Each structure stands twice: as C-alpha cells, then as structure tokens.
C-alpha cells in the first residue's frame, strides 16, 4: 500500500453503511443520560468521550493510524 493511501485509510475499516473515509468529529461536548454515567467516564471506569481535549473519536482514529505510518 502506498504511503499516501495509508495516510487516508490505515487503521479504519468501515462496516456496511459507514463512511468510506474516517469522519472528522467536530463536537466539543457530549450528552449522557445520567451524572453516574459521565462520572464513570471521569473516573476512567468506562470507555467513551466527555471532553474533546482529553479524547474524541478523531484523535482516537489518528492514534490507530500512526502505527501504520511508521517508516523503518
């Protein structure tokens, strides 16, 4: 696979009905059904997103992509 192709597609395998290219999530905050649910996120007891500077789907996608882009 060419390096430019890896830059676009590595680390992301879309399922049926999902975008072909990893979408860029521009949200800065997220909603939850209860304070207990978001409390588990703050305590790192549950996976998910609550504040985009700490983690968000776009930065997680970049983290998945970077190992594929290493050049020996």
The whole-chain average pLDDT of the chain stands at 87
- Determine the Cα–Cα distance for residues 20 and 5; give it in Å rounded to an integer: 13
pTM recorded for the entire structure:
0.65
Provide the percentage of residues in the chain whose pLDDT is more than 90: 21
Span 3-24, mean pLDDT?
87
| Domain range for 33 | 3-69
Give yes or no for a contact between 12 and 64, defined as CB atoms under 8 angstroms apart. yes
Long-range contacts of 16-23 (CB under 8 A, 24+ apart): 22/58, 22/61, 23/57, 23/58
Give yes or no for a contact between 36 and 42, defined as CB atoms under 8 angstroms apart. no
Number of domains in the chain: 1
Residue 28 or 17, more confident: 17
For residue 11, the model assigns a pLDDT of 84
């Amino acid at each position: 696979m060419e390096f430019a192709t890896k830059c676009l597609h590595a680390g992301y395998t879309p399922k049926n009905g999902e975008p072909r290219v990893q979408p860029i999530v521009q949200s800065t905050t997220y909603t939850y059904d209860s304070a207990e649910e978001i409390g588990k996120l703050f305590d790192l007891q549950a996976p998910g997103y609550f504040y985009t500077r700490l983690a968000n789907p776009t930065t997680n996608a970049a983290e998945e992509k970077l190992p594929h882009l290493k050049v020996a």
